[in-house]
């Protein structure tokens, strides 16, 4: 299973659905807010709020992320994780790096991952932290860095739309959380690969 997540809580999980998790229609909640049936918006806001209060998670439909971006991301990340371990280790992330590969660590999580952080200087509350080091990009698959940046941008906008909807569900202005979201392209993204993890366990 492939899981792609951002620091805004936007989480693309490429797996089968679960009918116990609510589905929220984001089409009437995306910014800029469009004129629409007030009842439809109210229903979506209530469904979103109820999902957060009860399940703690939700699926989104009509989320606005282009299908070609999603296909490119899942295809490219799958191709990266299918590379020989030695090739993945060429871009292993060292402490303080801005991004790279993190191999499977049974003492941490049951997955290996690729992560990147961008634009930390856009967040004033992080000003006292050490500056991030380099991003370590693989030679294969082709266009990997461009794909990561494109995916980050699309999921950042989606995360901002979700935060806006959450603000509306609490009777706050739609832009209430904007100061902590940061500009488009700033934030972090992590792709985790869970596939075949159990086969690597030793008992």
Structural domain contains residue 57: no
Whether residue 85 is predicted with pLDDT greater than 50 in this model: the reply is yes
Check the CA dihedral 121-123-124-130 and report its sign.
negative
Grade residue 199 by pLDDT with cuts at 50, 70 and 90: low
φ and ψ of 109, to 5 deg = -145, 155
Which structural domain range is residue 120 located in?
A: 2-17+66-197
Residues with Cβ within 8 Å of residue 21, at least 6 apart in sequence:
51, 55, 57, 58, 59
Whether residue 35 is predicted with pLDDT greater than 70 in this model: the reply is no
Structural domain contains residue 56: no
The larger pLDDT score, comparing residue 84 to residue 119, is at 84
Structural domain contains residue 51: no
Average confidence (pLDDT) over 163-173: 90
Spatial contact of 137 and 144, defined as CB atoms under 8 Å apart:
yes
Angle at 30 between CA 148 and CA 14, to 5 degrees: 40
Structural domain contains residue 37: no
Structural domain contains residue 11: yes
What are the pLDDT digits (tens) for 121-166?
666 666 666 678 899 999 999 999 999 999 988 988 888 888 989 9
Structural domain contains residue 25: no
Q: What is the CATH number of the domain that holds 181?
A: 2.60.120.330
In the chain, the number of structural domains is 1
Q: Where are the alpha helices (DSSP H) in the chain?
A: 38-53, 67-81, 85-89, 144-169, 178-181
b/e 122-158 (16+ beta carbons within 10 angstroms → b): ebeeeeeeeebeebbebeeeeebeebbebbbbbbbbb
Instruction: Give how far the C-alpha of residue 163 lies from the chain's centroid of Cα atoms, to the nearest Å.
Output: 13
Structural domain contains residue 49: no
């Amino acid at each position: 299973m492939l899981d792609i997540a951002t620091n805004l809580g936007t989480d693309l999980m490429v797996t089968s659905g679960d009918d116990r998790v609510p589905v929220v229609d984001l089409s009437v909640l995306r910014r800029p807010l469009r004129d629409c049936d007030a009842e439809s918006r109210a229903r979506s806001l209530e469904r979103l709020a109820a999902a957060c209060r009860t399940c703690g998670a939700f699926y989104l439909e009509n989320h606005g992320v282009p299908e070609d971006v999603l296909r490119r991301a899942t295809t490219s990340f799958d191709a990266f994780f299918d590379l020989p371990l030695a090739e993945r280790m060429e871009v292993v992330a060292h402490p303080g790096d801005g991004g790279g590969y993190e191999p499977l660590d049974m003492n941490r999580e049951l997955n290996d991952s690729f992560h990147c952080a961008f634009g930390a200087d856009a967040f004033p509350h992080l000003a006292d932290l050490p500056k991030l080091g380099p991003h370590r990009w693989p030679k294969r698959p082709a266009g990997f860095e461009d794909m990561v940046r494109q995916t980050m941008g699309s999921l950042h906008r989606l995360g901002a739309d979700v935060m806006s909807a959450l603000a509306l569900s609490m009777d706050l202005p739609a832009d209430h959380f904007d100061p902590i979201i940061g500009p488009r392209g700033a934030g972090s993204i992590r792709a985790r690969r869970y596939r075949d993890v159990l086969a690597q366990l030793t008992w």
